[in-house]
Structure 1
Amino acid sequence: MRTPSRSIRVPLGGHYTLADRCRPYADLLPDAVVSHATAARLHGMVLPRRLAEEPVIHLSRPPGKSQSRRRHVVGHRLVLHPGEITNILGLPVTSIARTWLDLGGMLTLEELIISGDQVVSEHHRSFGPRRVARVPLPELKRYIEGKSGIAHLSKCRTALGHLRAGVDSPPETRLRLMLAHDPHLPEFLPNVAICDVDGTPQVWVDLGCRKFRTCLEYEGAHHLTPEQQAKDHHRDLLTAELGWVQVKISRADLLQGAGWVQAKVRRGLTLAGWEPPR
């Protein structure tokens, strides 16, 4: 059984401490740019814990410049165009798109997809605030497709094919990727609206398959509160009334691995009329 790696989003409040650590090096090396995992942390991008809490700072300088050999600093050489550099709290930092590209050499394919899903995530539902993509998926695709001769570019292009806008959390991405390992299962899309007979959205689900009217809900720790449980009960009844089969997936399910999750989803699909290929 393989335990999924845990990804966390660095809180914005942590930017100031990290920025303060970076600033003396930026002053000493005016041509250096904060990059890689350090840039991702400053941007608030989703990272696995080993990078979100690493003690080193990543700095990049142009080719021909010496790499910094200072303690707690990892030096890189990058050719950066003006559009690939932004400013955070007075520090030159690689842009989100460029940072995601550079993370290709530090993350597994699954971790890269998880991080990318959060970068391109956007939705406008009938409830709650609108979510705006940090970098829209078409824009990120154009950026990556326009690159050449960069290490790990192939991995990033592979990851691009798996990114989906509308994903709310890393566990939802892990769930979707687990299902993708079984070629016989239909595709589940994120942030699907279940509508009434008039076409008005009544329920928004984490992952949905319209063909077989089956939806998946990832239930994290916040679903254990009495207030959320009351909302969930209402959602569950409404989902059933609209003729959809709902399958709830927990963190414990993800820890059991892809085989366990796939079997659970197959049971829901079967109730909805899906027949596995013989």
Structure 2
Amino acid sequence: MTPREVPHHFRRVHRAVYVSPGLTLGPVETIRAAWLRAGPEAVVGGVSAAVLHGATFFDHGDEVELVRAPTGQGRRRSRVRIVRTDLDPRDIVAVDGMPVTSVIRTAYDLGRRGPAWLGLAHLDDLTRSTNLELGVLWRYVVDHPAVRGIRQIRGLIPWVDPNAESSGESYMRHLVLAQGLPRPETQVKVFDEAGRTVAKFDHAYREEKLAFEFDGFDYHYSDEQRASDARRDRETARLGWHTERRNSVELSNDPFEFLGRLELLLEQRARRRRR
């Protein structure tokens, strides 16, 4: 097949990059296609690097982030975002045959980006899905102090929790910690009198028997799941627990309603426990 014939038989993804017409590209193939177009000097970075390292919180979508040398312009074009910065060779590893920012460098980059809750979600995700050691990340941050967003990542590292199971849970926990409320336990199991597990809470204050849940729209809003949640809440209430539930819209529209309610319940149940 000659180069002139290729466009007649394959679907163009980027200039000089083609795939079979019926092929749906997954995240890895989408990243590879963009990297092939950019050339071997480009390095996969940001959320794209996190995906290649196994992170799962975020829908990668079609945009790919690539890192290139500082000369030239950063830009978004053809579903590719080019970031211009220097990378130490030690910050680059090979994943699926592509040069990718290391787990530490990827965490360092994403943890400095705003908003802060999103940076925390990325750090939770990378810690959960890779061998990221927070002590090593802290040392890396200390060694690279004079960059944008450094204060944010320094504040986030103590809040990282690899038990978080979604970006929504990270968002909810960030609201609570940023408000100055006590740090909750995560993925807390509740047992009935026979020792059977009746619930696993996203977040809980065990001594006060107070839990709060992030209800994602993709899971908690079918009729069947809502009925199951209601049965679970009745059973945990029988065991002395109180559960607060919020979804992303409720938290975004009025986070202070949730925080005020949580603070009030904490005070009430703490007083009751001390009696």
| Range into which the TM-score falls when normalised by the shorter chain | 0.7 to 0.9
Query: Any residues of structure 2 matched to 1:126-165 within 5 Å, and which?
Result: 133-136=129-132, 139-147=133-141, 148-150=143-145, 151=147, 152-165=149-162
Do residues 102 (structure 1) and 96 (structure 2) align? no
Any conservation in 2 of the 1:193–1:204 contact (CA below 8 Å)? yes
TM-score (norm 1): 0.72
Q: What is the deviation of 1:200?
A: 5.6
Partner of 1:228: 225
The one-letter amino acid paired with 2:212 is: L
Give the secondary-structure state (helix, strand or coil) at the position aligned to 1:259: helix
Do residues 88 (structure 1) and 82 (structure 2) align? no
Q: What is the deviation of 1:225?
A: 1.1
TM-score (norm 2): 0.73
Q: Matches of 1:250 and 1:74 in 2, distance apart?
A: 33
The structure-2 alpha-carbon separation of the partners of 1:172 and 1:158, relative to structure 1 and needing over 3 Å to count, comes to same
2:253 counterpart (253, 256, 260): 256
The structure-2 alpha-carbon separation of the partners of 1:55 and 1:257, relative to structure 1 and needing over 3 Å to count, comes to same
The structure-2 alpha-carbon separation of the partners of 1:212 and 1:86, relative to structure 1 and needing over 3 Å to count, comes to same
Partner of 1:39: 49
Count of matched residue pairs: 239
Any conservation in 1 of the 2:110–2:119 contact (CA below 8 Å)? yes
Moved more, 140-149 or 187-196: 140-149
Do residues 188 (structure 1) and 184 (structure 2) align? yes
Q: Matches of 2:137 and 2:259 in 1, distance apart?
A: 34
Partner of 1:216: 212
The structure-2 alpha-carbon separation of the partners of 1:145 and 1:197, relative to structure 1 and needing over 3 Å to count, comes to farther
Moved more, 101-110 or 201-210: 101-110
Percent identity over paired residues: 23
Q: What is the deviation of 1:165?
A: 2.3
Give the secondary-structure state (helix, strand or coil) at the position aligned to 2:89: coil
Q: What is the deviation of 1:252?
A: 3.2
Give the secondary-structure state (helix, strand or coil) at the position aligned to 2:236: helix
Do residues 168 (structure 1) and 165 (structure 2) align? yes
Q: Matches of 1:92 and 1:141 in 2, distance apart?
A: 25
Any conservation in 1 of the 2:31–2:64 contact (CA below 8 Å)? no
Q: What is the deviation of 1:94?
A: 1.1
Q: What is the deviation of 1:244?
A: 0.8
Q: Deviations over 1:187-222 (max 9, x none)?
A: 322211223457664321011001211111222222
Instruction: Name structure 2 gaps, 5 residues minimum.
Output: 1-24
Give the secondary-structure state (helix, strand or coil) at the position aligned to 1:21: helix
